[in-house]
Amino acid sequence: MNVDLTAPAAAPARTDLPFLRHRTRAAKPERAITMSLDLTPDEPIADRRPGYQPPRIARGERTVLTPTAPMVRLTRLQSGIGLLTFDAVWSAGTADLRLGCAYTLVGGYSSVAQQDGAHTGPMSSRNPVILVRQQRFGRLTVDLRQSRRLVRMVVYSRTERRHAVPRDGNLSIRTIGDARIELPVGGAAPGSVVVLASVYTVDGELVIRSELRSFTGSVRDACRAYGFDGITWLDANTPAN
C-alpha cells in the first residue's frame, strides 16, 4: 500500500467541485399544521373543587346535629333576615341552668351575654346584636339585621354547684321560615360549663356547629379555650364564675 504524501498544492485539480457547490439540496418536508379540539393541558391542573361544604337546611325542615354530621350552613336569606333563636329545652328540675354566649364582632370587639342580663361591655346598649332573655329554660336571640357585624360566637350553658346539666334535653335553633336545628344535650358535672354550639360567618352565611364540650372551670375558662382572649372581665360578678 502506497500513501501519496504529495503536498496539497501539488494535488491535481478537482473537476467535480463546481457540481458539488451548486447541486440542489433536497428540501426539508414542511411540518404539517393540524388543529386539535383536545383542550387538555400538558400538565394536570390541581384539583379546584371546593372543600367540605356543610349541608343546607330548607324552609320548615328539621335537622339534628350529630357527631358524624355536626354542621349545617344557612342560606344568605336565613343568615340576614329576622332572628336566629336559641331555645334551651331541658328536663324537669333544672331551672337553675343558665344560657349564655361569647362573641366577637367585626373590628375585634369580644364580649359575653348571659341569661342573668350580664354583659362585659357596650353590647348592653339599646340595640344589641345578641340578647339573652329569661324564658322557662332560657332563650338567646341574634338580630340578623346586624349579622354582618358578627364574626363568631359560642353558646354555652352553666349550672349552679348543686345542680347537674340535665341528661334529657336539647338546644333548639330556629331560623326564618321555621327551619329548625336541634342539638341533643347530655349530662355534665354540677357547676360545669358546657359549650353547646358555635356559629361562624363564612362568606356572608352562618355556619352552625355542634360542640358539646364540657369544662369543669368557669365561663372565663371555657371562653379562653375557644380563643376569646380579648374579653374584659369587669369584676367577680360577671359570668366568669
pLDDT along the chain (241 residues), means of 10: 55 51 52 50 51 84 92 93 89 68 92 67 63 77 92 88 63 92 79 90 94 89 91 56 46
d(CA 91, CA 43): 61
Nearest by Cα to 142 from 197, 97, 194: 197
Query: Is-above-0.75 flag for pTM?
Result: no
Q: What are the grid coordinates assigned to 8, written together? A: 496539497
- Count of C-beta atoms within a 10 Å radius of residue 212: 17
Q: Three-class SS of residue 34?
A: coil
In the chain, DSSP finds a helix count (H) and a strand count (E) of 3, 12
Q: Which residues make Cβ contacts (< 8 Å) with residue 66, sequence separation at least 6?
A: 184, 210
For residue 240, list its beta bridge partners. none
pLDDT at 50: 59
